[in-house]
A and B are shown apart, each in its own frame.
Chain A
Amino acid sequence: MFLSRSDRILRGALVMLALLSGSVVLLIVWFLVAGALPALRDGYLPRLLFDEHWQPGSARDPQFALMPMLAASVLVTALAALLAAPLGIAGAVFHRFYLPKRLAVWNQRMLELLAGVPSIVFGFWGLTVLVPLINRLHPPGQSLLAAGIVLALMILPTIALTSQSALRSVPESQLLAAAGLGMGRFATVFHIALPSARSGIGSGVLLAIARAVGETMAVVMVCGNIAKFPGSVFDPVRPVTATIALEMGYASSSHKALLYLAGLILVLVTGALTGWLAFGKRNAGEVS
């Protein structure tokens, strides 16, 4: 293929920029691995799995149990997804099939606005409004439940907006055909639109989950940060991200390396989620 000089320059520049942005993630992983290496070398990996407590600063008996925190990350994320997914998907169905166009635009604007609220604001709201409410039900208030609710509010726009766009991309012809067959609105939504938009909605939920796993600032303010397996939703928990945020600024030597290792594990988990997302999408594409 013949390329003119300016085309070649443009191509070169684009290749450079694409490589640069692609390599950032590799750089980050490399940086995490380098930071975590001392912990791996000194055999801390089994301690992460089998220690009983997280007390890295203890002079008498330092312990590094990561499992309660991984469990907390999973539980908080699952709770948030459980709360946000039905709300977001139902909202999207309402937005697409029931809400008048003029109001639908505003509904979407509000969701976009919600998506733009900084996470620290959610955390502040959670700590000053939500936590006292939960405290009245069951002290201390800072809990798995509080973190799940705050996180649900934060990922709600992602789920709602991706579900909206998935529903929008259901071919008009299918909907018209349904109407032509005399199907009611309910039947159209549940038997035509939702099945057809399933993969788009699913990837929206997964995207939201990937964000929820990594969310930090809001969670750290409302989760209570106790690194133990919770007995109920009212118990405080400490996700991995909260630990890194709370302790990174003050950690040194093996403690610091362990925090890097925790970060690495978290990146691998979100990486796996994103991979699953891409893989699932390709499979879905092959089927349809």
Chain B
Amino acid sequence: MMKSAPLLIGLSVLSLFSGCSREKREIIILTGSSTVAPVVTDAAKRFEATHPGVRIEVQTGGSSRGIADALSGLATFGMISRDLKADESELTAHRFAIDGVGIILHQTNPVTDFSRQQLIDIYTGKVTNWKELGGPDAKITVASKAEGRATLEVFLGYTGLDSADIKAGVIVGENQQAIKTVVADPNAIAYVSIGAAASEAAGGTPIKLVRCDGIEPTNENVAAGKFPIMRPLQLVSHGEIPATARDFLDFLTAPENADLIESHLYVSLSK
């Protein structure tokens, strides 16, 4: 037993080397936003199935990591769930999907429309009763998302609020929990991914998506950039894009792969 150990180690080291020399697979590395990562991972699986020589690695760590890794060349693409900032103009953004965030109410709530100012007033505690918005005389249960959640960031971006300004009655984590909160409380208001809310509402859950600034929260309006509460999902690259990586980018925006993006409840920008 003992005598064979060095031999075993030697053999395994050798096999490592042979593995390297034989392996000519191309590697595409993507890092960044945990909102973008699941979609890209699914697309990567499908891409690898049709491109046997390519391996795609997807790692999360937030949009800022995506930016940093794309700049330093650690990643082929950074994944970000926001627009590029002015000081990030060295990077090129490739938008492939949009995440729309909609306001949901209980089906029995007569309110059908919010302006940006009304949402600000509700979420900062200036308006606390549905009466002031043309609804019943009942206290508004304000549901907000936990710190760091992507939907919260989108909502803050739209309203221009800071997370410290929000006076919530209930804080929730996932979209599902927000939807269940509105189902359980007819006087609740919450914001969730439009895709998640639309599929729940279509399935008979007693919630409704309402208009914001007069715009219907439909996928068409989100894709057209009309609906105001949204953010882009994009890949960013620095300098020249290798041919295989370019292929993957085209693959991601190809109409036949729109189903992947839609299955994650985002709006695809192919077509």
> A and B: partners?
yes
B253 to chain A, nearest CB (A): 27
Contact segment of A19-27, A49-57, A78-86, A153-161? A49-57
Q: Decide: A224 and B170 in contact? CB cutoff 8 A.
A: yes
Per-residue 0/1 for B145-172: is the Cβ within 8 Å of any A Cβ (1 yes, 0 no)? Answer: 0111110100000000011100011111
Bound-state CA distance A55–B152 (Å) is 13
Q: Decide: B163 and A55 in contact? CB cutoff 8 A.
A: yes
Q: Decide: A60 and B184 in contact? CB cutoff 8 A.
A: no
Bound-state CA distance A249–B62 (Å) is 10
Interface size bracket, A side? 20 to 34
Known A-B contacts A53-B164, A63-B164, A250-B149; A226 and B184 likewise in contact (beta carbons under 8 Å):
no
**A225 interface neighbour in B64, B146, B162, Cβ under 8 Å:** B146
Instruction: Tell me if B226 counts as interface (CB < 8 A to partner A).
Output: no
Bound-state CA distance A61–B163 (Å) is 9
Known A-B contacts A225-B171, A246-B171; A55 and B164 likewise in contact (beta carbons under 8 Å):
yes
Interface size bracket, B side? 20 to 34
Q: Decide: A249 and B163 in contact? CB cutoff 8 A.
A: no
The chain A residue with its CB closest to the CB of B166 is A55
Q: Decide: A247 and B146 in contact? CB cutoff 8 A.
A: yes
* B179-212 interface with A by 8 A CB criterion: 180-181, 183-185, 187-188
Bound-state CA distance A285–B83 (Å) is 66
* A12-66 interface with B by 8 A CB criterion: 53, 55-63
Instruction: Tell me if B219 counts as interface (CB < 8 A to partner A).
Output: no
Q: Decide: A226 and B168 in contact? CB cutoff 8 A.
A: yes
Contact residues in B for A56 (Cβ distance below 8 Å): 147
Contact residues in A for B164 (Cβ distance below 8 Å): 53, 55, 58, 60-63
* B15-73 interface with A by 8 A CB criterion: 34, 62, 64
Instruction: Tell me if A95 counts as interface (CB < 8 A to partner B).
Output: no
Bound-state CA distance A232–B184 (Å) is 20
A40 to chain B, nearest CB (A): 21
Instruction: Tell me if A139 counts as interface (CB < 8 A to partner B).
Output: yes
Instruction: Tell me if B173 counts as interface (CB < 8 A to partner A).
Output: yes
Contact residues in B for A249 (Cβ distance below 8 Å): 34, 148
Instruction: Tell me if B177 counts as interface (CB < 8 A to partner A).
Output: yes
**A246 interface neighbour in B141, B173, B184, Cβ under 8 Å:** B173
**A128 interface neighbour in B64, B147, B163, B184, Cβ under 8 Å:** B184
Instruction: Tell me if B139 counts as interface (CB < 8 A to partner A).
Output: yes
Contact residues in A for B34 (Cβ distance below 8 Å): 249-250
Per-residue 0/1 for A210-234: is the Cβ within 8 Å of any B Cβ (1 yes, 0 no)? Answer: 0000000000110011100000000
A46 to chain B, nearest CB (A): 20
Q: Decide: B169 and A132 in contact? CB cutoff 8 A.
A: no
Given contacts A226-B171, A249-B148, 8 further A-B contacts (CB under 8 A): A127-B177, A128-B183, A128-B184, A131-B181, A132-B183, A140-B141, A226-B168, A255-B148
Can you pick out 15 interface pairs between chain A and chain B where the beta carbons lie within 8 Å of each other?
A57-B152, A128-B184, A139-B139, A139-B169, A140-B185, A142-B170, A224-B170, A225-B146, A226-B168, A238-B171, A246-B173, A247-B147, A250-B148, A250-B150, A251-B148
Closest 5 CB pairs of A and B: A250-B148, A58-B164, A246-B146, A225-B171, A57-B147
